[in-house]
């Protein structure tokens, strides 16, 4: 059975929230719902209906996202959910296919998402393009290397997050264009980052801010929450959760981290996600003490292969014919000749035989420069008919800075 799909209207909002709370087995406070609604663009949403009942939906945000060599417009897919009563009926597949068709027709070449379940989105052509690491750090293990950078002109200042918002925005905007995957934060997005109601706290204390600055202005910041704790013997067992940390230069970066790790009465530091190549590993005297765990970050889907491959830079020259079979977005199926160097790229259809054949999610995984195509070759999903073509493509698509967005949307 097929279910009609149309864009949502504001009157659909209450029913859509019910779908999300049912699908995610969660509860969302009125404050959080209102913040979420302010982010939403109803013209970029889709809802499926069974009669008059809204049974599933999704939406996208329009982001300016960093990619290798610059920034480009990316559709951030969000709030994908189907009522539990209507699972396994093709509702999700219909929504995802329609969404990708709409994106391509609007001229949006790239989609990105955070996956609630990592087994779902590969079937729709998404590839895991960015990974992060989560750290658990014991206070006793926070010694920095003697070679850690420092600057005597820097000073640290504890700030009220609400009052220092312009400081955070200034630092973040300077940093976010340097790492593929990071995206511009709108005013409603910053409202969410700085939210401090009970649901946002998750049992922790109030949101706190730390700024590193000199006489020229701010150079770094951190946002965190702490929870007090003592054992029966009055041994401190406090916990600190770090949510957001950015800096414009190495000395400020080290100073902000040091300011967080030096807080009194904290026994354990929890860091939910940082980039896979975060320099903090190199700053620690004993990096093993970070107790790092890999976590997946952004998944990328090329809604329009031709356009997407020309909207990023390449680390090395490449001239390769890429064969793609894309059953979800059939307009991508065919052979595409990518000719690129460090100054630009073209991608055009060709009748020449393919030098390499790839699933479209492999291109999505490699798009931000953090995933080698050789891993896909090892699984048998990729193949080459011209020796060296896959290596050349993988090298060209690589990028020195590992991709990471670091903020779920």
What are 58-99's pLDDT values in tens digits? 999 999 999 999 999 999 999 999 999 999 999 999 999 999
- 117 in any annotated domain: no
- Please pick, among 126, 168, 253, 409, the residue that the annotation labels catalytic: 409
| Residue 180 sits in the same domain as residue 41 | no
Interior angle at CA 93, CA 87 and CA 94, nearest 5:
105
- 20 in any annotated domain: yes
| Residue 138 sits in the same domain as residue 252 | yes
User: What span, in angstroms and rounded, lies between the C-alpha atoms of 286 and 124?
Assistant: 41
Catalytic-residue membership of 114: no
pLDDT of residue 258: 97
| Residue 81 sits in the same domain as residue 208 | no
Instruction: Judge whether 281 and 148 are in contact, CB under 8 Å.
Output: no
- 299 in any annotated domain: no
Query: Domain boundary at 263, 294, 325, which?
Result: 294
| Residue 37 sits in the same domain as residue 161 | no
SS3 80: strand
Number of domains the chain is built from: 3
Count Cα neighbours of 159 within 13 Å in the Cβ-side half-sphere: 23
- 93 in any annotated domain: yes
pTM, to two decimals: 0.95
Distances (CA, A) of 19 to 13, 15, 54, 86: 10, 6, 8, 11
Q: Is 116 annotated as a binding residue?
A: yes
| Residue 15 sits in the same domain as residue 56 | yes
Q: Is 293 annotated as a binding residue?
A: no
CB neighbourhood size of 367 (10 A): 29
pLDDT of residue 236: 82
- 114 in any annotated domain: no
Q: CB-based burial of residue 163 (10 Å sphere; 0-12 exposed, 13-18 middle, 19+ buried)?
A: exposed
Q: Is 89 annotated as a binding residue?
A: yes
Write out the two tokens for 320.
């390769």
Given strand 53-67, what is the order of strands in its sheet?
5-6, 45-50, 53-67, 70-82, 110-113, 299-302, 127-128
- The residue range of the domain holding 314 is 304-397
- The bridge status of strand 5-6 relative to strand 45-50 is antiparallel
| Residue 289 sits in the same domain as residue 308 | no
Q: Is 88 annotated as a binding residue?
A: yes
Nearest CA among 28, 30, 18, 109 for reference residue 56: 18
pLDDT of residue 378: 87
Q: CB-based burial of residue 25 (10 Å sphere; 0-12 exposed, 13-18 middle, 19+ buried)?
A: exposed
- 113 in any annotated domain: no
Query: Domain boundary at 76, 108, 140, which?
Result: 108
| Residue 379 sits in the same domain as residue 328 | yes
| Residue 19 sits in the same domain as residue 72 | yes
- 52 in any annotated domain: yes
| Averaged pLDDT, groups of 10, the chain, 409 residues long | 94 97 93 93 97 98 97 97 96 98 97 95 97 95 94 97 97 98 97 94 96 98 93 82 98 98 95 96 92 96 98 98 97 98 96 97 97 90 95 97 97
Q: Is 238 annotated as a binding residue?
A: no
User: What span, in angstroms and rounded, lies between the C-alpha atoms of 80 and 92?
Assistant: 8
CATH number at residue 206: 3.40.630.30
| Residue 330 sits in the same domain as residue 258 | no
Q: Is 80 annotated as a binding residue?
A: yes
Nearest CA among 130, 140, 390 for reference residue 274: 130
User: What span, in angstroms and rounded, lies between the C-alpha atoms of 104 and 32?
Assistant: 31
- Please pick, among 61, 63, 121, 269, the residue that the annotation labels catalytic: 121
Q: Is 82 annotated as a binding residue?
A: yes
Query: Domain boundary at 59, 74, 108, which?
Result: 108
CATH number at residue 315: 3.30.1050.10
Catalytic-residue membership of 16: no
- 333 in any annotated domain: yes
pLDDT of residue 232: 64
| Residue 224 sits in the same domain as residue 318 | no
| Residue 278 sits in the same domain as residue 384 | no
| Residue 145 sits in the same domain as residue 236 | yes
Q: CB-based burial of residue 240 (10 Å sphere; 0-12 exposed, 13-18 middle, 19+ buried)?
A: buried
């Amino acid at each position: 059975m097929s279910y009609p799909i149309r864009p949502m209207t504001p009157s659909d909002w209450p029913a859509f929230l019910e779908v999300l709370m049912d699908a995610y087995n969660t509860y969302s406070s009125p404050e959080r719902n209102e913040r979420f609604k302010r982010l939403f663009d109803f013209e970029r949403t889709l809802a499926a209906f069974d009669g008059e009942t809204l049974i599933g939906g999704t939406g996208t945000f329009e982001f300016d996202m960093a990619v290798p060599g610059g920034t480009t417009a990316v559709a951030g897919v969000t709030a994908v959910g189907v009522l539990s009563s209507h699972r396994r009926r093709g509702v999700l597949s219909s929504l995802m296919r329609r969404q990708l068709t709409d994106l391509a027709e609007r001229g949006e070449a790239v989609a990105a998402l955070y996956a609630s379940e990592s087994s779902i989105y590969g079937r729709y052509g998404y590839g895991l393009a960015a990974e992060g690491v989560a750290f658990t750090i014991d206070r006793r293990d926070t010694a920095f290397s003697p070679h850690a950078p420092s600057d005597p002109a820097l000073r640290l200042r504890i700030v009220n997050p609400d009052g220092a918002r312009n400081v955070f925005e200034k630092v973040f905007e300077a940093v976010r264009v340097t790492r593929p995957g990071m995206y511009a934060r709108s005013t409603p997005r910053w409202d969410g980052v700085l939210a401090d109601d009970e649901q946002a706290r998750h049992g922790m204390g109030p949101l706190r801010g730390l700024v590193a600055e000199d006489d020229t202005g701010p150079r770094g910041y951190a946002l965190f929450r702490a929870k007090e704790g003592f054992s029966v013997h009055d041994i401190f067992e406090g916990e600190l959760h770090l949510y957001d940390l950015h800096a414009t230069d190495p000395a400020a970066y080290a100073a902000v981290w040091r300011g967080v790790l030096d807080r009194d009465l904290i026994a354990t530091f929890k860091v939910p996600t940082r980039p896979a190549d975060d320099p903090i590993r190199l700053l620690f005297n004993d990096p093993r003490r970070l107790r790092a765990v890999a976590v997946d970050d952004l998944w990328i889907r090329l809604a329009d292969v031709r356009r997407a491959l020309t909207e990023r830079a390449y680390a090395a020259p490449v001239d390769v014919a890429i064969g793609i079979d894309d059953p979800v977005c059939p307009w991508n199926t065919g052979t595409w000749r990518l000719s690129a160097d460090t100054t630009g790229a073209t991608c055009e259809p060709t009748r020449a035989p393919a030098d390499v054949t790839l699933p479209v999610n492999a291109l999505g995984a490699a798009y931000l420069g953090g995933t080698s195509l050789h891993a896909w070759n090892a699984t048998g999903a990729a193949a080459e008919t011209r020796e060296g073509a896959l290596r050349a493509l993988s090298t060209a698509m690589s990028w020195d800075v590992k991709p990471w967005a670091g903020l779920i949307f």
